[in-house]
Amino acid sequence: MMFVLLIAVVPSTTVAKYFIVGDEVGWTTNFDYQSWTVGKDFHVGDKLVFRYPKGFHNVFKVNGTEFQNCLVPSNSSLRLDSGSDIVTLLTPGRKWYICGVAKHCKQQTQKLVIQVQPPIVIVPAPAPAPAPSPSSSAPIQTVAPSPAHGWQRASGPSSISP
């Protein structure tokens, strides 16, 4: 007897969300970004959108020490300053962001820390198994409605009644 094993390759899909940092307020000074994160779940693949007037603010991704001390990295190529910066969350873990303009971070609380979780993966349900083929050794039984008595067996053993 030969058995054939079929392995279905089921594509998985990740669901990404866009988070506008600060919602309608955007990326600005004197805003409580820690409170803004409450109730939000950030996952790998999600995107943070930093919106602000170009030329007034910027965004730096920093480490925990730089975040605590509002230290702006010396490498200016790390600065985002378009006014509508999109940051894709690529790895799980804690992520820190600050504004590097003047004293916006240190004196005006323009900084954000988030915890990023692993991605949400949606795997589609497998297709239903095919119906078994009829066997020649078992009788095929069907049920059909009876006009006078409800349901009755239309074929098969005659000893079963409705």
Q: Domain ranges in the chain? A: 13-120
Q: For position 81, what pLDDT does the model report?
A: 98
Q: For position 10, what pLDDT does the model report?
A: 45
Q: For position 33, what pLDDT does the model report?
A: 98
User: In which residue ranges of the chain is pLDDT below 50?
Assistant: 3-10, 149-162
Query: What is the Cβ-side half-sphere exposure of residue 2, based on CA atoms within 13 angstroms?
Result: 2
Structure tokens at 87: 């940051």
Whether the CB-CB separation of 36 and 89 falls below 8 Å is answered with no
Q: What CA–CA distance (Å, rounded) separates 36 from 31?
A: 9
Query: Which one-letter DSSP state was computed for residue 101?
Result: S
Ramachandran sector of residue 35 (left: φ over 0; alpha: ψ -120 to 50; beta: rest)? alpha
Ramachandran sector of residue 69 (left: φ over 0; alpha: ψ -120 to 50; beta: rest)? alpha
Whether the CB-CB separation of 66 and 113 falls below 8 Å is answered with no
Whether the CB-CB separation of 120 and 43 falls below 8 Å is answered with yes
Q: For position 156, what pLDDT does the model report?
A: 47
Classify strands 111-117 and 42-43 as parallel, antiparallel or unpaired.
parallel
Q: Regarding the domain with residue range 13-120, which homologous superfamily does it belong to in the CATH classification?
A: Cupredoxins -  blue copper proteins (2.60.40.420)
Q: For position 111, what pLDDT does the model report?
A: 98
Residue with tokens 């795997």: 123
Q: For position 133, what pLDDT does the model report?
A: 65
